[in-house]
């Protein structure tokens, strides 16, 4: 959060923010301060407090370029089990 506030105080602009799988308050603060030009994420939410208001306003006003990214799978795809070798039955 300290880094987010420092970027806002310095007036940093045209950030390309990548927040995977999702982003929350920090992205919303940066968007509200007009620091972010492009955002790559699957969602910006404040959790139980609802949608991120500055993000929603920026999207509606056309002030933010959005590159949607699907959320990653929670479990990586498993490989098929290896076949045992004939000589010692190990999983070579």
pLDDT single digits (tens) 70-83: 656 654 555 555 56
Helix (H, G, I), strand (E, B) or coil at 16: strand
pLDDT for 87 beyond 80? no
pLDDT single digits (tens) 23-52: 999 999 999 999 999 999 888 999 999 889
C-alpha span between 8 and 4 (Å, rounded): 6
C-alpha span between 25 and 14 (Å, rounded): 18
pLDDT at 18: 92
**Total-model pTM:** 0.71
């Amino acid at each position: 959060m300290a880094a987010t506030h420092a970027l806002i105080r310095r007036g940093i602009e045209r950030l390309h923010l990548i927040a995977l799988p999702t982003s929350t308050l920090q992205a919303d603060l940066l968007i509200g301060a007009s620091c972010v030009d492009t955002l790559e994420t699957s969602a910006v939410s404040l959790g139980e407090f609802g949608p991120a208001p500055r993000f929603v306003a920026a999207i509606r006003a056309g002030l933010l370029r959005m590159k949607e990214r699907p959320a990653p799978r929670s479990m990586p795809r498993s490989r098929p089990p290896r076949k045992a070798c004939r000589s010692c039955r190990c999983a070579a």
